[in-house]
């Protein structure tokens, strides 16, 4: 292509276009005209044309020479199409959003450590009110001998002889587009740019060692079975002395002999004799807050619930507490002494219940049936 060709027209941009506008125009055309998409000869020639135009206009020196009417490919002006200066990276960027052969530089040996999870078994009271625990964690910490560097005392990592510290090696290959330069991690140093000639005898060059340490943690009030608590930067230290990961606590709530937890409410069953249910009584009970008492009204029925407000679990994400729900079960005696039996018969005669008729209902009564019976006085 001659110098007289209008590179700006080839890319469809104005002479005042900036670098970003030129790059966007080239990417758009490269997607349409790339030989892998349109393999016909005419399209290939057009693709070479826009590629050469982009090579000139994306280089400030070549663009200045072109604007002044000089040949940007003259000796000293840089290589043309088919040379090592071919902008293959921008073609790859146009198709895959990345660059091929772009210099990545050496990788850091320090990398973030892994997260760790440990199980914490708690009693119901500890879940409800919170607790402080000293947890023993087997984890990786920075090597005290080399301070994470990985080298033996008195030595340091040295520059790799293969890549001269770049962390990558380049290779030029030929294709129908010309010479293409690709890069890959250096096989001599693994991409780090440095080589540890004398590894630390304690960590063997990893920069960290495993040890057992104690972490004091505060378990918030209101946690329940399955709750996960994240402790930032309390996990394993990364290779090369990198930053630590996080520590996650998995809460396991032990079963309680009396109380069953449902959300933030606690439930229990209280069995009372039928005399207490009929006459009413004040009974002592035990809650998580300590001893308490409840008043049973005369005529308390089996399956009746008595709530104690604010006696349940603390809310994990807010103030206040749930309730303690006491489910009453009325116990009927199965064996009576002769005197007790006679007293019961006297009570039955007084209540005209010597031959009680009973009441039948279709299955278990629902809420509306019980409400109707209540209004009818039944």
80 lies in the same domain as 118: no
Nearest to 213 by CA among 110, 118, 113: 118
Q: Is residue 243 part of a domain?
A: yes
Calpha distance 375→247 (Å, rounded): 60
Q: Is 313's pLDDT higher than 90?
A: yes
Calpha distance 250→236 (Å, rounded): 17
Contacts of 373 (CB under 8 A, 6+ apart): 365
What pLDDT was estimated at residue 83? 40
**Which of residues 51, 71, 96 is at a domain's end?**
96
218 lies in the same domain as 313: no
pLDDT average, residue stretch 217-231: 95
Domain hosting 249: range is: 111-149+205-255
pLDDT tier for residue 123 given thresholds of 50, 70 and 90: very high
Calpha distance 128→135 (Å, rounded): 19
Q: Is 268's pLDDT higher than 80?
A: yes
pLDDT average, residue stretch 144-161: 94
Range name among 171-175, 193-197, 250-254 with the lowest pLDDT average:
171-175
What pLDDT was estimated at residue 78? 45
pLDDT average, residue stretch 269-291: 95
pLDDT tier for residue 101 given thresholds of 50, 70 and 90: very low
CA separation (Å) from 325 to 123, 290, 303? 19, 16, 12
272 lies in the same domain as 337: yes
Calpha distance 93→251 (Å, rounded): 48
pLDDT average, residue stretch 365-371: 51
248 lies in the same domain as 226: yes
124 lies in the same domain as 43: no
Q: Is residue 179 part of a domain?
A: no
What pLDDT was estimated at residue 99? 43
Quote the number of domains for the chain.
Answer: 3
Calpha distance 376→182 (Å, rounded): 92
pLDDT tier for residue 10 given thresholds of 50, 70 and 90: confident
> Cβ distance 104 to 161 under 8 Å?
no
Around Cβ 98, how many Cβ atoms within 10 Å?
A: 9
Q: What is the pLDDT of residues 64-85, one digit of tens each?
A: 888 777 777 765 544 444 343 4
What pLDDT was estimated at residue 368? 47
285 lies in the same domain as 369: yes
Calpha distance 34→94 (Å, rounded): 10
Q: Is 3's pLDDT higher than 70?
A: no
pLDDT tier for residue 50 given thresholds of 50, 70 and 90: confident
pLDDT average, residue stretch 15-41: 81
231 burial level (CB within 10 Å; 0-12, 13-18, 19+):
middle
233 lies in the same domain as 317: no
Range name among 88-97, 112-121, 156-165, 212-221 with the lowest pLDDT average:
88-97
134 lies in the same domain as 62: no
Highest mean pLDDT among 40-49, 92-101, 314-323, 335-344: 314-323
Could you tell me the two tokens for 163?
């890549």
Calpha distance 369→146 (Å, rounded): 79
Average pLDDT in the chain? 84
Could you tell me the two tokens for 253?
């709530």
What pLDDT was estimated at residue 174? 67
**Which of residues 192, 223, 255 is at a domain's end?**
255
Residue 330: which CATH number? 2.60.260.20
H-state helical runs in the chain:
7-11, 19-33, 41-57, 60-67, 88-96, 124-129, 274-279, 338-350, 367-376
Q: What is the pLDDT of residues 314-363, one digit of tens each?
A: 999 999 999 999 999 999 998 999 999 899 889 888 988 887 776 666 65
Residue 88: which CATH number? 1.10.287.110
What pLDDT was estimated at residue 134? 95
What pLDDT was estimated at residue 224? 96
236 lies in the same domain as 306: no
Contacts of 81 (CB under 8 A, 6+ apart): 48, 51, 52, 55, 178
Calpha distance 30→37 (Å, rounded): 10
What pLDDT was estimated at residue 98? 43
pLDDT average, residue stretch 29-58: 80
Q: Is 1's pLDDT higher than 50?
A: no
pLDDT average, residue stretch 100-112: 72
């Amino acid at each position: 292509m001659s110098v007289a060709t209008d590179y700006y027209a080839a890319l469809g941009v104005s002479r005042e276009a900036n670098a970003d506008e030129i790059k966007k125009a080239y990417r758009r055309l490269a997607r349409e005209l790339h030989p892998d998409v349109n393999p016909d000869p005419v399209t290939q020639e057009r693709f070479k044309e826009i590629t050469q135009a982009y090579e000139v206009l994306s280089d400030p020196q070549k663009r200045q020479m072109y604007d002044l009417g000089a040949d940007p490919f003259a000796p000293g002006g840089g290589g043309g199409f088919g040379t090592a200066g071919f902008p293959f990276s921008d073609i790859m960027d146009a198709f895959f959003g990345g660059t091929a052969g772009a210099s990545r530089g050496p990788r850091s040996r320090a990398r973030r450590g892994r997260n760790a999870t440990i199980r914490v078994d708690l009693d119901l009271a500890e879940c409800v009110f919170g607790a402080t625990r000293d947890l023993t964690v087997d984890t990786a910490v920075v090597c005290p001998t080399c301070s994470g560097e990985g080298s033996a005392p008195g030595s340091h990592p040295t520059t790799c002889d293969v890549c001269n510290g770049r962390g990558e090696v380049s290779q030029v290959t030929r294709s129908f587009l010309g010479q293409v330069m690709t890069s890959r991690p250096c096989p001599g140093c693994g991409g780090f740019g440095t080589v540890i000639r004398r590894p630390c005898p304690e960590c063997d060059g990893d920069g960290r060692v495993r040890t057992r340490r104690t972490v004091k943690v505060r378990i918030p009030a209101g946690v329940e079975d399955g709750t996960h608590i994240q402790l930032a930067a309390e996990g394993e230290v990364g290779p090369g002395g990198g930053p630590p990961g996080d520590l996650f606590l998995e809460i396991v709530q032990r079963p309680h002999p009396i109380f069953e937890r449902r959300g933030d409410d606690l439930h229990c069953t209280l069995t009372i004799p039928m005399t207490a249910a009929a006459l009413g009584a004040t009974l002592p009970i035990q809650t998580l807050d300590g001893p308490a008492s409840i008043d049973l009204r005369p005529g308390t029925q089996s399956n009746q619930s008595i709530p104690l407000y604010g006696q349940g679990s603390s809310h994990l994400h807010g103030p206040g507490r749930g309730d303690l729900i006491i489910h009453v079960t009325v116990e009927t005696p199965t064996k009576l002494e002769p005197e007790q039996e006679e007293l019961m018969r006297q009570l039955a005669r007084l209540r005209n219940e010597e031959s009680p008729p009973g009441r039948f209902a279709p299955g278990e009564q629902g809420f509306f049936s019980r409400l109707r019976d209540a209004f009818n006085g039944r």
